[in-house]
Structure 1
């Protein structure tokens, strides 16, 4: 090839293409000129352009093949070399085209004498809308500079054919079912439920409006400034307390910094600008090259690093274009499934709940803040979908099964039909449960069971009336802290707590004091030291934080006491490990009562104090602690992972423990037995109580107070109505003493024998 650099080759072509695009010729005439220019500048014997029309790739213009084949030769997406390029959105560079397994000979083109072949996709808004290909008689692989020149040309062609209306916009922006075919991805179930919708990226890709640069030096300066800003952002992220030092977070940030300061990356973008591209187009050109390399990488660790570079490219592109907002700021246009690497709770709350149907995350864990909020919002979430952005495109139709942790991308019509049938049955089931709103959960032998809801947001409150729940058994006060940029003022806290009590009316509300710290780090609440917690769930969190930062607990105590003036206040302390912690926390509240009494403020009629059973050590103190308590709540989520020493957020351990394991049931039985002489109310307020089989086991242990997600209230009410508590308690007593080989199987068999449907 006479031209020595990709920049020189592409620049020569771009100059000619700019003139062609500016001419008054028709679209077909322009394409005919384009293939001639490319063929001449690249010294290529054949240059052809295929465009996607009505789902088929049609030969629109060629230099070197038979002209009679134009608008006659058509290939399905995935058919032949051209169809493979469009389907996989990747480049092919072959010394012998016929040797490729996807080669499809078309005699009308007269291409039998040509051996070498190279083709690149023409991409518009992340989808292949065509292919530009070159061929030679000589058997040879094309040089890198030629491929890069073709890729640059393809970007300009994308703009030309879109402006000329040569492609059906639906082909590039529709469901994409014919673009890459259906794909099923398996992840981790984070929030249960099923949903369908189109893929919307939380950080939407930037739409590049101008490709050809008018002032190359000006474009170069824009990229330099964007690089400086991006590096500042990465450095700032690295210095934030929540990332700390050491561990996986630091490794990720070090990789980010390595790419952010990589001179080779910047040099490649500069070379693309030299070829005549705008800053945005140059970044996208280099990014396309990165994506192709990613598809060829088998090493998962190296592939992850390439995904990091893809992520940084998106960040750089947003900075240089000034398009910094998330999809929430743009507004959702229809039913949507949100796609993100990770997400914060405040970011999730920015979205329109009427249209946001589900969330899929490349990362995510069961204890992530966003998962807690999503569960409260009733939005299904699937996480741990590695390489998600490389497999899902904006606008793809998605079927999300949050129960199984499965995502179907670009489903076939039959898959959609099956899903809709299942969705309809699910709606029927929910409608049936909704009819139980005014039904009291009374067992077959006439025992009343209390079924309450967990909440944490003001928007959760209408669910009290919609479900007919007996009250709020757990109000997570930390949600207000998690979604705030600064520590919520006392007045703001008081307003929220008063609103909650007003909405609940005569029904009880149990306020859990703030459970932050550890894995729920707040940027405005820092550690006194720089130590990174290796086990944050068992670290500086919950009551431990509140007692050390007693100003935080004092403000919350005063807010709760003032909000409950003239009513009963139920307050619960999380992660109590020893009696002195409960005593210290209660003393903070009592001191605020004394202060407000002097101020002649309206005080609560009564304050009922409770503690959460999460740390197993508390079981050794129940004879001492129970007499001091009005109630006890068992948080099965944390309790279970502490009992099993199994981090719920770890992908290899998340499914290792079973809520109906004899170890857990025996522990709970021990707690129930220990507090029975004191008449202390016991509630299970973890996820365990919202699952029918697990709830059956809890009823068998003598636990008749459950606080669960609003969506679980109907199913649990129905379960209660079908159970004879005496019978299940007799069975459970036997199993606790002499556990069967498989407790879950034994419970399931018992339920089936008594015609009780479980999960």
Structure 2
């Protein structure tokens, strides 16, 4: 079978288009196609099997008995043809009958043919048929022959689909029916929508080139643009730091400048393919290689190459926009390998119902922003982009970490019922928004919200909150590629204050560094293994005084004529608070000297997150206007239990007597000094935990907007004096299970726990 791959493939491709373009029946066209391929490849047998009604049907043959056409059918995984389609890989056999999957079909008359080669006919990453050749002589086919067959099969897939000669149904395939995946719970909540890829896949519509040199020029131009983009990534927020992102960048560079990769694409163009089809052809080869790779590191590098192939395909086709830029037309579940926080914010919140990431972590910037947006997120769902198809129905359960693709009707109905119950509860909570957070015995508590985005201030009325108890100013830094200047900060703070109206807003100075590292402020010397306890928050701000001065001046100017409430995060000793306050007071003096409008009043507060500060409260309390307790960090520091480590989940219990006793002591000391205390964080946003906090004397909470309704319902259903008596008794003599004891008491006393 003498063959020059490019020339023979090009000859076949040209003939294929001529055949499919002419008038005639579908069967007549298929008969001519197998004759054409057999003649060009000097093959004794050429057969095409097409997927119809979930089986592979012999649809045309040159060399086998014609009476077997539309009679011989093989299930997925059955015989050599079924194995090729099921596994999506090539079989090249000198003796077909020796293969364990061989299935003899007497009606075909194939017993006299020994050698066999078959390639899958793939469309949109799914096998829709098989192209096979056979010879009487036992021999393995040359690589160049297999390459030509694969190129022909690729073009054939588009021609067959456009002529509607396959039904595309693959319900028998393992990835065509319902799939349930379990990943890492990143942001709680439930969402339903259609699958939308952050980087939309490009469907190759034109496969055969009219001008090979023009296609080659398009690929060269696309390679230049792609390499420029990769080189520029070092200046982007998502790729600017050392570590994992840097490794990804270096791998991208290696592939982007790999001459072997570009050469293979050129060879595919030589065979007569368009630029898009050539890239897709090489991608198919990569996917086939990935099936044989067991090494997880090497497999991950192959995923990187596929990512880069998709980027090159988008460039060459002129479709560089993300799904956010295209716009969401219906409720959607966003699918991505990973996302930056700024990319997530580009999406329409009304349509974005959930996010599924192949990577992702609890401390990633995108997770922090998604939590603020109220969008459920599940991460670490391996290879999800090859399991879900664009437009598939996806169910995301951020409460359990489950993601369901193409759900069955019973599963879909059960999910909808759970969502309906959740929505009903939210509707019930909404009726409380204009009612005070007042206990049955008349005690008034304060419910404020945590925020970090300008539009969050507009949620105050919707949630029925008393103000913003924690505005995370670092969000503006997390979503920016460069350090936000004073003017952009001033604009943000002013818009938040204006939107809040008469309701108070407490600004927390930037809590960056550690697990919220910013590439443009990276410190190469910081190799800390425990970033949550690293160089971050106030520690970093006091070292980089220019950063804090700019923020202080922006806050002072934005609060002109209003009350400025500012607090400093992660204070571990009183001198840190004094130094930070002195820096702010310098900016107030500057504003006075410059005749700038000043805030009507300034209140300074500190966040108690580091346990050491509790031992210095006698020195700190006389100097502060309020104290905020950040339970997220405080609890993990107290228990030496990293909250991002799932192995320590049972060591991170907010209803442990140890944390409640600690908080009770701090609260009592602050109350004695006349300093208001507020608890910020997830602990205060859970009804049962908030009940325990009430029991130790906490009267002010700052929680997520979604938690305001459930916590307010709990407050309005309980007697404050009764819960204080109960919690005090539990702390004097702690039971074996504090959580169960408090829960049982709440149920007996009709406390609404959601």
TM-score (norm 2): 0.90
Preserved CA contact (<8 Å) 1:85 1:120: yes
Aligned counterpart in structure 2 of residue 199 of structure 1, from 185, 195, 202 = 195
The change in CA–CA distance for 1:78 and 1:568 in structure 2 (over 3 A counts) is: farther
The answer on 1:501 being equivalent to 2:500 is no
Q: Is 2:330–2:351's contact at 8 Å kept on the other side of the alignment?
A: yes
Rounded to whole Å, the distance in 2 between the matches of 1:379 and 1:580 is 39
- State whether structure 2 residue 442 is matched by structure 1 residue 443: no
How far apart are the structure 2 equivalents of 1:471 and 1:301?
Answer: 48
1:642 equivalent in alignment to 2:650: no
Out of 722-731 and 702-711, give the one that drifted further. Answer: 722-731
Which of 491, 512, 515 matches 1:516? 512
Conserved? CA contact 1:126–1:393, under 8 Å: no
Match of 2:367 in 1: 371
Tell me, what secondary structure is at the counterpart of 1:461?
Answer: helix
Rounded to whole Å, the distance in 2 between the matches of 1:91 and 1:752 is 63
Partners of 1:241 and 1:526 within 8 A in 2: no
Q: Does 1:567 align with 2:583?
A: no
Change (3 A) 1:61 1:574: same
1:365/1:650 contact within 8 Å kept: no
Partner of 1:538: 533
In the other structure, the counterpart of 2:543 is 548
Contact 2:710 2:753 in 1 (8 A): no
Match of 2:315 in 1: 319
Structure 1 range deviating more: 378-387 or 177-186: 177-186
2:700 maps to which residue? 705
Is the Cα–Cα contact under 8 Å of residues 65 and 109 in structure 2 kept in the other structure?
Answer: yes
| Contact 1:39–1:46 (CA under 8 A) maintained in structure 2 | yes
| Aligned equivalents of 2:188, 2:96: Cα separation in 1 | 48
1:159 counterpart = 2:158 = yes
* CA distance in structure 1 between the aligned counterparts of 2:242 and 2:553, rounded to whole angstroms: 39
Aligned to 1:728: 723
Alignment deviations for residues 677-696 of structure 1 (CA, whole Å, 9 cap, x no partner): 21222222212222233323
Distance across 2 between alignment mates of 1:353 and 1:592: 37
Distance 1:563 1:526, change over 3 A: closer
Tell me which residue corresponds to 1:589: 584
Structure 2 CA distance, aligned partners of 1:111 and 1:662? 78
Residues 58 and 71, structure 1, Cα contact 8 Å, conserved in 2:
yes
Once structures 1 and 2 are overlaid, which stretch shifts more, 634-643 or 239-248?
A: 239-248
* 2:237–2:482 contact (8 Å) kept in structure 1: no
- 1:377 shift after superposition: 1.5
Taking the TM superposition and a 5 Å limit, the aligned residue runs for 1:65-464 are 65-68=64-67, 70-71=69-70, 86=85, 89-91=88-90, 118-134=117-133, 144-167=143-166, 180-237=176-233, 247-464=243-460
TM-superposition CA deviations, 1:247-298 (whole Å, max 9, x none): 4444444433443344443333333233222232222112112212223333
Kindly tell me the number of residue pairs found equivalent between the two proteins. Answer: 754
Distance 1:627 1:102 in 2: 82
* Structure-2 separation of matches of 1:415 and 1:93: 42
Instruction: Name the SS of the counterpart of 2:521 in structure 1.
Output: coil
> By how many angstroms is 1:94 displaced?
6.3
What secondary structure does 1:515 align onto?
coil
Residues 197 and 54 (structure 1), Cα distance of their counterparts in 2 relative to 1, 3 Å cut: farther
**CA deviations over 1:47-92 (Å, ceiling 9, x no partner):** 3334456766555433344544545666676777656655655555
Whole-angstrom distance in 2 between the partners of 1:398 and 1:144 = 41
Match of 1:2 in 2: 2
* Alpha-carbon distance between aligned partners in 2 of 1:540 and 1:268, rounded to the nearest angstrom: 48
Q: For residues 651 and 35 of structure 2, what CA distance do their matches in structure 1 show? A: 63
Tell whether the 8 Å contact from 1:568 to 1:605 is kept in structure 2 after alignment.
Answer: yes
Measure how far apart 1:419 and its partner are. Answer: 1.4
Cα distance in 2 for residues equivalent to 1:43 and 1:577 = 81
- State the shift of 1:711 in Å: 1.2
Of 587, 592, 605 in structure 1, the residue corresponding to residue 600 of structure 2 is 605
Q: Deviations over 1:685-709 (max 9, x none)?
A: 2122222333233223322221111
Name the CA distance, whole Å, in 1 between partners of 2:416 and 2:92.
42
Question: Could you tell me whether the CA contact under 8 Å between 1:689 and 1:698 is conserved in 2?
Answer: yes
Q: Is residue 244–residue 532 contact of structure 1 (8 Å, CA) maintained in 2?
A: no
Tell me the distance in 1 between the aligned counterparts of 2:632 and 2:96. Answer: 58
- Pairs within 5 Å for 1:643-658: 643-650=638-645, 657-658=652-653
- 220-229 or 281-290: bigger deviation: 220-229
SS of structure 1 residue aligned to 2:476: helix
Counterpart CA distance in 2 for 1:752 and 1:140 is 77
For the pair 1:526 / 2:521, whether they are aligned, the reply is yes
Shift of 1:426: 1.8
Distance 1:302 1:463, change over 3 A: same
The 1-side partners of 2:107 and 2:663 are apart by 77
Counterpart contact for 2:237–2:480, Cα < 8 Å: no
- Gaps in structure 1 of 5+ consecutive residues: none
Cα 1:245–1:488, aligned 2, differ >3 Å: closer, same or farther? Answer: closer
**Partners in 2 of 1:676 and 1:350 — Cα distance?**
44
CA distance in 2, matches of 1:185, 1:750: 37
**Stretch deviating more after TM superposition (527-536 or 663-672):** 527-536
- Over the aligned positions, Cα root-mean-square deviation in angstroms equals 3.4
Cα separation, partners in 2 of 1:159 and 1:727, compared to 1, 3 Å: same
State the 1:357 CA deviation.
0.9
Q: Work out whether residues 363 and 644 of structure 2, in 8 Å CA contact, stay in contact via their aligned partners in 1.
A: yes
Q: Is residue 2:48 matched to residue 1:49? A: yes
Over 3 Å counting, the alpha-carbon distance change for 1:36 and 1:634 in structure 2 is farther
Equivalent residue number for residue 479 of structure 1: 475
Q: In the TM superposition, what is the alpha-carbon distance from 1:406 to its structure 2 partner?
A: 0.8
User: Which shifted more, 154-163 or 711-720?
Assistant: 154-163
Q: Is the CA contact (8 Å cut-off) linking 1:216 and 1:273 kept in structure 2?
A: yes
8 Å contact from structure 1 (residues 203, 326) kept in 2: yes
Closer, same or farther: CA 366–527 of 1 in aligned 2, 3 Å: closer
Change (3 A) 1:686 1:81: farther
Q: CA deviation at 1:198?
A: 1.5
Q: How much does 1:621 deviate?
A: 2.0
The alpha carbon displacement at 1:235 in A equals 4.3
Following TM superposition, by how much is the alpha carbon of 1:452 offset from its aligned partner in structure 2, in angstroms? 1.5
- Measured after TM superposition, the shift of residue 489 of structure 1 is 4.3
| 2:54–2:172 contact (8 Å) kept in structure 1 | no
Counterparts in 2 of 1:324 and 1:575: CA distance versus 1, 3 Å: same
Other-structure match for 1:618: 613
Give the secondary structure class of the aligned counterpart of 1:612.
strand
